[in-house]
A and B are shown apart, each in its own frame.
Chain A
Amino acid sequence: MIEIQNLRKDYQLGGRSVLACSVRELRIGSGEQVALMGRSGCGKTTLLHVIAGIVRPTGGVVRVAGTDLAPLGESARDRFRGRHIGLVFQTFNLLQPFTALENVLLGAVFTGQADGSHRQRALELLDRVGLADRADHRPSELSIGQQQRVAICRALIHEPELILADEPLGNQDPETGAKVLRMLLDIAGDEGRTVVMVTHDPGSAALMQRTVRLEDLREVAA
């Protein structure tokens, strides 16, 4: 599902080059559930953004779901992301003006038409995370845990092969966090989707099949 080789991402800051992320080699198979760990600032978020095609690497090969991202233009990467990747952010990032159901559908709007079948799937997903009766509520009317569940549904709505989650349990009490994470892993597992999740919490990482420490992947400075 993911193949990375000799990846580098540098940022130019005031004429100085800052290395944000560096990976010598990383392979994640289809259907795997992987925890990505590492100390703050080591480049976990940057790596997820590279895999999602949001950020273009400075160098190296990134192959996701059989697609080499390096030569793709911006809109092709947007389309690729819309089609193959589901994203869950640390802050869930639900859009306030839209209801829970609409927020879920937003995950499908930009690549297909969020048509009747998507609507059906959105309602099923919401039902599965126990929010069937909250479909018409705005994010501000939901608890943090409920918002997070909506965000998970949004990442799953368009049936992506790969789900990328960046500290989705950030500000949660461990109990709620674990519950929500199990829901995500359950659904992803049932549907055979690959999950890569950034986390600082060893307990959460323990729920995943495999843990990768980003520091270990670092290219030895040549």
Chain B
Amino acid sequence: MNLWSIARRNLRIRVLSSGLTTVSVALGAGLVAALWLMIAETEQRYRQSYAGYQAVIGPKEGSPLALVLNTVMNRGYAQGIVPMKVYRELHDGRLAKRLGVNYAIPQARGDFYEGFPLVGTTDEWFTKFSRGKDEAGAPVRLALAEGEAWAFDHDAFVRFAEDKAREVEASLGGEPEAAEDHDHDGDGVPDHAPGEHAEPIPAEWRKAVVGAEVARRLGLSVGGVIVPVHGTEDFEHLHDEAASEVVGVLAATGTPIDSAIYVPISMFLSMDKHEAIHLSSPFDDVTADDIRISAIVFDAKNHLAASHLRTEFQNRSDAQVAWPHVEIADLLRLVGNAADVLRIFAWLVVAVAAMGVCVALYNTMNERRREIAIMRALGARRGQILGIVVLEASAVSALGATLGVAFCHVCAFSFRTIVLERTSVALDWAAFTWDEAWLIVGVTVVGGLAGVLPAIKGSTVEVADHLGPTT
């Protein structure tokens, strides 16, 4: 028997009061823990999302943040175009050699299917893009959960670009076709650019690999069909000619990669209304370098490659370079500010709960005067009485905090599917963090401090006055 067992017994005989204060502390601590969990998961997700993107190169128009949001996070719209010339420099040209390129993968964007963006790219997206290294040091490639990836490599892309350039060059040199001939839907806007023939898109290009999230949400699997929709809300156009078969489903990565559909870039650039060629000047010859793409995903062996690129493109007018880790860190700082406000509120709830502990104990002190006087008569020092009451406060707080944290994890466990669906945040409900251990310690200390006031009241009871026969 010791002071602790006395404190425990005191709590137990006031079950209701102890229970209610415990619950209020649990609520506060649970709220803090839940917030931490959400914030940590969100930050984790954002951090994971830029793995593999050392730099992204995109149009000069728009901000680096918009470029990163569009290319890495699948948010917003492409801000403009980059000529293929830049891509070739990065893929196997001058810059590629200088920086020791690991990969430079093109992206063409602008179409959607059921709200998910279509990304036109080459199969290097599946064979070269790497989200980091695994324990063995091997690159972590995108894996397929089902089916297989389509094949359309860099060389095929270059051939496609050259064909396209020739085609456009020929049509510019020849008889211009009447604009009306291309306006099949009669809306006054040509359905395809002059020189583009509404030829059927080859079936080998009409293949799609969908991200895990797309597959899950839309119930897509191998053999499914997607029909791209062009662009914005006020101008939507269904690309029936580009109906593509789903040939593969990517394994989940927990990043925005899961939320896009990947198609051969040739398919993307062959769709109606997609102007594949960007004419820098009507007097120049049209070449493959004029093919327009939206962005390039870049990674090099050289760690300084990203800053070299930045310097390189600072003075060029055809593209800009964005650093995903910097842009996303900036974004997180914004999220962080909002999170701080929430944190303050959560701590306020803890503070209110601590006050509850204080009031609940304080109220018992009058009825406990006699009991305290007896303990004092049995040799208990003021400090020991103080200790017992503070122990009670700390115990209630520690129990409350532990329950709160545990409850938060139980909630995370029970809501993990819903949260995953709504926010695509995969809650790691089983992971107990050091932060949570410190939260429990912190709440225990705060609760213990809240017990000091009632403890002082208790320890100043006049012993002689309360030992006589009960009146």
Contact = CB atoms under 8 A, between A and B. Distances in A.
Interface of A: 45, 49, 52, 54-55, 74-75, 78-79, 81-83, 85, 87, 89-91, 93, 95-98, 102, 105-107, 109-111, 113-114, 154, 158, 170
Given A81-B379, A91-B469, A98-B9, 15 more contacts: A52-B377, A54-B467, A79-B379, A85-B379, A87-B377, A87-B378, A90-B469, A93-B374, A95-B375, A106-B378, A107-B379, A109-B2, A109-B6, A113-B2, A158-B379
Contacts of A49: 464, 467
Contacts of B374: 89, 93, 95
A56 to B, nearest CB: 10
B379 A93 contact: no
B469 A78 contact: no
Nearest to B8: A97
Interface centre among B379, B380, B383 (most CB of A within 10 A): B379
A110 B467 contact: no
B182 interface: no
Given A91-B469, A91-B470, A78 B1 contact: no
A78 B468 contact: no
Contact of B467 (A75, A81, A83, A93): A93
Given A90-B468, A91-B470, A97-B13, A82 B379 contact: yes
B464 A55 contact: yes
B8 to A, nearest CB: 10
A55 B463 CA distance: 8
A55 B465 CA distance: 10
Contacts of A82: 378-380
B14 to A, nearest CB: 9
Contact of A78 (B3, B13, B379): B379
Contacts of B469: 90-91, 170
Q: What 7 pairs between A and B have smallest CB-CB spacing?
A: A82-B379, A110-B380, A114-B1, A78-B381, A110-B379, A75-B381, A97-B13
Q: Which of B374, B375, B384, B470: most chain A Cβ within 10 A?
A: B374
B379 A54 contact: no
Contact of A109 (B3, B12, B371, B464): B3
Interface string B373-400: 0111111111110000000000000000
B12 A97 contact: yes
Interface in B331-385: 370-371, 374-384
Contacts of A83: 379
A102 B467 contact: no
Contacts of B371: 95
Given A78-B376, A91-B469, A114 B2 contact: yes
Contact of B379 (A45, A95, A111): A111
B380 A54 contact: no
A78 B467 contact: no
Interface in B419-471: 463-464, 467-470
Contacts of B102: none
A3 B350 CA distance: 56
B130 interface: no
Chain B interface extent, by class: 20 to 34
Contact of B378 (A55, A75, A107): A107
A93 B464 CA distance: 13
Contacts of A109: 1-3, 6, 378, 380
Given A93-B374, A95-B374, A106-B1, A78 B380 contact: yes
Contacts of A97: 9-10, 12-13
A89 B464 contact: no
Interface string B1-43: 1110010011011000000000000000000000000000000
Contacts of B1: 102, 105-106, 109, 114
B468 A110 contact: no
Nearest to B10: A97
A45 to B, nearest CB: 7
Nearest to A76: B381
A52 to B, nearest CB: 7
B361 to A, nearest CB: 16
Contacts of A110: 375, 378-381, 384
B149 to A, nearest CB: 71
Contacts of B13: 96-97
Contacts of A107: 378-379
A82 B377 CA distance: 8
Nearest to B469: A91
A201 to B, nearest CB: 16
B382 A74 contact: yes
